[in-house]
Amino acid sequence: MPTVPREPGPRLRADPVRTPFHIVLVEPEIPPNTGNIGRLCAATGCPLHLVGKLGFQIDEHAVRRAGLDYWHLVEVRQHADLAQCEAALRCDEVRPSPRSWLLSGKSSRSFLDIEFQLGDALIFGKESTGLDTAELSRRPESVLGIPTLGQVRSLNLANSVSIVLFEALRQLGALNDASLR
């Protein structure tokens, strides 16, 4: 059965914000999570920072094979380690140095208690183990978690990024002028 092409039509859109947030993934392991997060970055104008060893390839062939037809819309930056990534962010930003927020299932402080600022870096660890415990211990004031109602250990990485990013965008009023366009 032939597929029927979708009619292009208006979508709910808000005005773009220049580099609202930096999404940082430390050693991501699962390609579909990174692909979903890449799509989220393309939809929100956030650069995607990939840190350390990746559990997959992101060359043009691998991206095409995975069907990531929006990957060209993502500003992807790779860094050897988190320190290099944060140093690059401090150099790139014209605003005051961006704050870094470490997201972890091991936090006692909710991301809902933070007032996000444009340019903040939202840092997420790898799917299997999260961020390094030593890194979390060095910066306890920067560690945030997503409260859950059930007994699950943690949320899916792509879902976690979406939850935190859209709350941060909402706080800044970036979604207030949304309309069909």
Which CATH number does the domain housing residue 69 bear?
3.40.1280.10
In a domain, 44, yes or no: yes
pLDDT at 128: 94
Q: pTM for the full model?
A: 0.90
Q: What is the mean pLDDT of residues 30-38?
A: 89
The position carrying tokens 């007032």 is: 115
Min mean pLDDT across 93-107, 115-129, 153-167 is at 93-107
pLDDT band at 65 (very low <50, low <70, confident <90, very high): low
Mean pLDDT score of the chain = 90
Would you say residue 120 lies in a domain?
yes
pLDDT band at 153 (very low <50, low <70, confident <90, very high): confident
Three-state DSSP class for residue 42: helix
The pLDDT of residue 57 is: 80
**pLDDT at position 32:** 86
Range of the domain at 167: 17-174
The mean pLDDT of 104-109, rounded to a whole number, is 94
- How many whole angstroms separate alpha carbon 26 and alpha carbon 10? 36
Choice among 51-55, 57-61, 124-128, 157-161 with the minimum mean pLDDT = 57-61
Q: Flag whether 4 is in a domain.
A: no
How many domains in the chain?
1
Residue 9 inside a domain? The answer is no
Is 164 part of a structural domain of the chain?
yes
- Exposure string for 94-114, b = 16+ CB within 10 A, e = fewer: eeeebebbbbbeebebebeeb
Q: Give Cβ neighbours of residue 167 (< 8 Å, ≥ 6 apart).
A: 111, 112, 116
- Asked if the model's pLDDT at residue 19 lies above 90, the reply is no
In angstroms, rounded to a whole number, what is the distance separating the alpha carbons of residues 139 and 16? 31
